[in-house]
Structure 1
């Protein structure tokens, strides 16, 4: 019988990598909390109709990429391919719009699309997203862009650039759609097969094609910016002015349409020059008609999602020094020492310290080697002598300095110990190793 492995397009996030994920989650949570965003958690699977109506049946996501199945009640169920539709469904189902004011929400979790796996793109992937529901003000568009930029920069990312566009409202897009079809029809036989199909169903998506020849043809296509109505133009002008006021550089990209049908007005992407072909780290925009389209009241909204797999790839390329995983690594050998080490580990954990207790029972040399690899700030050592005297040896991993102290004294001076650990971490971060 063969070895059972993870399915193609899925991957294990191993302990060595999890620290990057935790750093992203902690950074985002702190920034979003300070900006008055509240976390929402929606189901991983929903009725298929939600995504067909919300995302659009003519999109690649609905037409080709969704994981859809019938459950035992013969209902059509889909693993969520994105987060916005579920948030909007929850807003409507629980009447969150009746609470008054603007709803600022954020979420994170796994999404599912049947795509060709590659670096930074999996069939089970993870997103961090925000949604601002209840405001048509251009300031909401800019606020979400600013927050995304703040999160990425706080994580140490550089070489980022912002592309923005306006896809207008329904009337603007209908006018532009005809102009685009008129331009592309003479080139129909030169377009890639997917774009030939989109010409009648969803011609704006042709602008997002990755086919080289199609891109060359689309380069001279009419611009949607020339087909915006008065309101759409004023809204987009205000967005650009506010970004300028905040010192956020951007470039206009009239080919930027995003992949989902619910977008209106502002569309944007934040890209990294360090990611190669899959350059987009964050994408989003305004979707003023989606809430009403799914059965709720007319509710303007704007949001974005960050692809966490791509973001983690960037962080790993930066090789940011990881925070130490542990305050203490405890080494012990001998029955009495091992028993005391277990008690000491639990007392230190209850005092708020992170502690790794070596349970191997192997020779001190092997335990010390694991202590070196652990990333701990200090090592506590108990042998027969320490057990008999109820002492412990305290070894600072950065400087290799070592001293003996009674276990009672160690536990009686928690604040001093905390201060010593902080100084020990700073020495280690500077590389002050002898």
Structure 2
């Protein structure tokens, strides 16, 4: 009996430890996505204050150009800090990631406008967004690697799906906080100072999760003796090159997921508002409901993947996306009812795609170069195919070639399956295969 109690105590302790780790990891991830999305949502308020030109469209475009620079900084963050995470350890870089996001959000919340400090206002804003880009460039791949190394056997996908719930919470939370702020504060006050409130909320939330991450254990272990800095860095990149097919697979595993993610999160809502002039409040409501549906389905995705094996679930779900992505063709003319159908029917498709891709990517690299390889592949996949998806959707629609977009998305998914199977056959999948 005493032995049984002892085993139960140990199991309970590990369970509590895992819960704390998931809260620290997931909460930090939520803050990262919250802060990243808030800037895009508030660009129309930021532009006139930091890039005044007298033309509201040009001012907003300038603010969005700074938003795009953040995407460009992601691969650099993945390369530099991914290498450090594989050389020094995971925990220190996780603390840096969320700490830099907190700092940059706080700077933006307090930054004087162009009227106060001139051109330096725009320069500091740009520098803050570059810092956020470096942070987001390493946050997702580092968390994915950490989950694969931390999760108990048979629970890898479930743990990964829980992190995905936090990510979705950050995305939906950004929209919700901005909506509440604009609802409470008068338009003139919102344009003057109210837009700073969502950034301040993100900074405060980030401090809480920064404190929680201090207690996370280190998961990077090596059987060899520590090497000197340059030799170790060289070894990390030599291993990434050795697994270059896996790196290419990661790029397209991420590309297929993020192309769908940005299509549903920003592409379709922008199409509804700008091309079809749907009611903005209704579009916001439908988008929020779709995001909540996606988050609610993530635990099911994780449990299914752990029960049926990650590789089988990934292949089946990714192949199922190929015909289902063509549902976007149903929304070819104004009609909020059809927009609602497309958004909500797409939610389970998006859940199965987004709920697994991070975990799958992390299984393709060995521990010794996992963060570097996953980080580089993730950054290329997001920057090259995710961030461009909304623009491509609207552009093709404007050309009268809207049919080409789902073909493009289906091709990305099929290519990801092909590359994943090639890696699988070469014995490259290391967890949950």
TM-score of the superposed pair, with normalisation by structure 1: 0.22
Choose 1 or 2 for highest CA Rg: 1
Q: Select the structure that is richer in helix.
A: 2
Looking at both structures, which has the greater relative contact order when contacts are Cα pairs under 8 Å and sequence separation is at least 6? 2
TM-score of the superposed pair, with normalisation by structure 2: 0.22
Q: Select the structure that is richer in strand.
A: 1
